[in-house]
């Protein structure tokens, strides 16, 4: 309601359906909320963030897109219930319907909503996806919501590169790097370009700093990094053709951004990089005029930023 959802107009639509899923699927009596862990092992998150020449891609996007996998497993659960417990009508959802899934999961006892607005679990931290099975079977309700265990900790708020948290539990998506690099359509505001650093698809800072993520479970093997996306240099990804992008992101969340948006994010990353300036400037100039005015604007910013830094270094050495 405060306008913090940016250009995600879908967030405004169907507010009543969000509050009452029974209006979404007639006859719904219960909602089964589930989690699917995704944390990949040995992805060296901090090391990548500290290397300005590497591309940081959010941990959730390194492997397979979770939507189809979650729906497939929920469907299997619904079918099992029909066979083993009682026939029932059901539908499954995974980030694909106007459902307040974090609040439902909290009510179901899967955890509590942390100050970073993500669901937290004592046994899994926050590295997991949520899914829902809506059923017309009147299952007993046996779980109570868990009390918040964040206490006085404010690490997630303090570490945010763009100060996107207006207050605990209150995120301004228009300042969030995850929103800016995935959902936002248009030039990324200049004030957020340097704080982005090498984060070219999403941001995990508020999760990486969270003490509860020391207890996170390793995720499903389906979410292991593909095509060495956890090891790529910015300059290498920027040289991908559109064909390469489509081939290497088949079945990946990276497809959501699209090729042009991916290049736009990478251009900012290159502007913040410490690669050889002559090579980087050459590659940036090659892309001017190739994929629209937004990319051109980001490239011009990157070129100016690199040239300004080079001039500063020369001045310091005089």
- Phi (first) and psi of residue 19, to 5 degrees: -80, -30
Question: What pLDDT does residue 318 have?
Answer: 46
Among 61, 308, 276, residue whose Cα is nearest residue 194: 308
Instruction: Based on the residue annotation, tell me whether 95 is a catalytic residue of this protein.
Output: yes
Q: Which residues contact 80 (CB under 8 A, 6 or more apart)?
A: none
CA–CA separation, 203 and 128 (whole Å): 15
Candidate list 37, 51, 95, 296, residue with the active-site label: 95
pLDDT under 70: residue ranges of the chain: 1-19, 21, 313-318
* Residue 174: per-residue pLDDT: 96
pLDDT at 137: 97
Domain locations in the chain? 9-140+147-317
DSSP string, the chain: --STTTT-GGGTTTHHHHH-GGGTSTT--EEEEEEEE-PPSS--HHHHHT-TTBPEE-GGGSS--HHHHHHHHHHHHHHHHHHHT----EEEESS-SS--HHHHHHHTTS-EE-TTSSEEBTTTBT-EEEEEEEESS------PPPPP--TT--HHHHH-TT--EEETTEE-GGG-HHIIIII--SPPPGGGHHHHTTEEE---HHHHT-GGGGGPPP--GGGS-STTTTS-BHHHHHT--HHHHHHHTTTSGGGGT-HHHHHHHHHHHHHT--S-HHHHHHHHHHHTTTS-HHHHHHHHHHHHHHHHHHHHHHHHH-
Name the pTM for this structure. 0.90
Question: What pLDDT sits at residue 10?
Answer: 43
């Amino acid at each position: 309601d405060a306008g913090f959802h940016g250009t995600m107009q879908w967030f405004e639509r169907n507010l009543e359906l969000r509050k009452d899923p029974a209006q979404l699927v007639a006859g719904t009596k219960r909602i089964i909320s589930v989690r699917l862990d995704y944390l990949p092992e040995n992805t060296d998150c901090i090391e990548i963030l500290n290397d300005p020449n590497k591309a940081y891609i959010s941990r959730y996007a390194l492997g397979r897109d979770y939507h189809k996998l979650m729906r497939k497993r929920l469907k299997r659960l619904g079918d099992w219930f029909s066979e083993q417990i009682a026939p029932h009508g059901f539908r499954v959802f995974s980030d694909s319907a106007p459902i307040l899934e974090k609040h439902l999961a909290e009510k179901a006892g899967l955890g509590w909503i942390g100050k970073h607005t993500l669901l937290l679990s004592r046994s899994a931290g926050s590295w997991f996806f949520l899914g829902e099975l809506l059923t017309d079977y009147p299952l007993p309700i046996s779980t109570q919501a868990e009390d918040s265990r964040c206490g006085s900790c404010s690490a997630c708020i303090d570490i945010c590169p763009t100060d996107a948290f207006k207050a605990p539990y209150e995120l301004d998506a228009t300042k969030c790097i995850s929103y800016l690099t995935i959902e936002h359509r248009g030039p990324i505001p200049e004030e957020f370009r340097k704080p982005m650093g090498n984060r070219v698809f999403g941001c995990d800072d508020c999760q990486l700093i969270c003490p509860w993520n020391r207890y996170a479970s390793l995720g499903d093997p389906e979410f292991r990094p593909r095509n060495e996306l956890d090891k790529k240099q910015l300059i290498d990804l920027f040289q991908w053709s559109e064909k390469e992008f489509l081939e290497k992101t088949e079945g990946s969340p990276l497809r959501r951004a699209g090729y042009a948006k991916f290049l736009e994010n990478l251009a900012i990353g290159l502007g913040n990089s410490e690669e050889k300036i002559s090579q980087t400037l050459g590659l940036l100039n090659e892309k001017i005029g190739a994929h629209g005015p937004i990319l051109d604007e980001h490239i011009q910013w990157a070129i100016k930023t690199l040239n300004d830094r080079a001039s500063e270094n020369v001045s310091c050495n005089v």
